[in-house]
Structure 1
Amino acid sequence: MFITGLVIFLSTILVLIKLPRRWMLRALRYDIAIDVAVSVVVLALHFGTFSGLVAATFAGLLTSVATSAAKRAFGHIRAGRYYPGWINLRVGDRP
């Protein structure tokens, strides 16, 4: 159950990693919305069995921890302004 939850969580993290840096920072502004959306989607997909619900709940919990940690570590973008975290990323208009 927990391995399945970990795999679900890793797939979500890989999607965030593949996003361009600016999009990721914009998405991190809505960390609570990401947590709720991921939790609702995985709970809906794995509804019906106890092990599926435990895996989905575990994935939602790990996603919540990861988005909170990423927002603190890398910061976020709100209204076009970058609010850096512990690690200051380069988010210029051009690469």
Structure 2
Amino acid sequence: MFATGFAIFLGLVFIFIKLGRRTMLRMLGHDVWLDIGVTMLTLAIHWGSFSGVMAATFAGLLTSAGTTIAKRCFGYIKRGQYTPGLLRLHV
């Protein structure tokens, strides 16, 4: 169950890495909505068994932690304004 949740999370991380830098920073500007959307989508996909729901929940928790860490490391774009994190990206 935890391994499945971690695998789901890794898939989401790889998709996030492939996004353009500005798109990634804009999505990090709306991190709460991103967390809610990912969690609801994974729950809808894996609905039907207890282990599927727990894997989706674990993936949602990891996504929430990941977006928080990414926002602090790379910063975010909100309302067109870039707020840098610990690592300043050239946008």
User: What's the TM-score once normalised by structure 2's chain length?
Assistant: 0.97
Question: Match for 1:64: what amino acid?
Answer: S
Please give the alpha-carbon distance, in whole angstroms, between the structure 2 residues aligned to 1:25 and 1:8.
22
> Which residue pairs with 1:84 in the alignment?
84
Please give the alpha-carbon distance, in whole angstroms, between the structure 2 residues aligned to 1:38 and 1:8.
10
1:85 is displaced (CA, Å) by 0.4
Per-residue Cα deviation, 1:39-66 (whole angstroms, up to 9, x for no partner): 0011111111111011000000000000
Q: Does 1:10 align with 2:10?
A: yes
- Alpha-carbon RMSD across the aligned residues, in angstroms, is 0.7
Please give the alpha-carbon distance, in whole angstroms, between the structure 2 residues aligned to 1:55 and 1:22.
30
Please give the alpha-carbon distance, in whole angstroms, between the structure 2 residues aligned to 1:78 and 1:72.
14
Identify unmatched segments of 5+ residues in structure 1. none
Please give the alpha-carbon distance, in whole angstroms, between the structure 2 residues aligned to 1:60 and 1:79.
26
> Which residue pairs with 2:75 in the alignment?
75
Larger radius of gyration: 1
SS in 2 for 1:76: strand
Identify unmatched segments of 5+ residues in structure 2. none
Please give the alpha-carbon distance, in whole angstroms, between the structure 2 residues aligned to 1:58 and 1:50.
12
Question: Which stretches of structure 1, 4 residues or longer, exceed 3 Å deviation after superposition?
Answer: none
User: What's the TM-score once normalised by structure 1's chain length?
Assistant: 0.93
> Which residue pairs with 2:55 in the alignment?
55
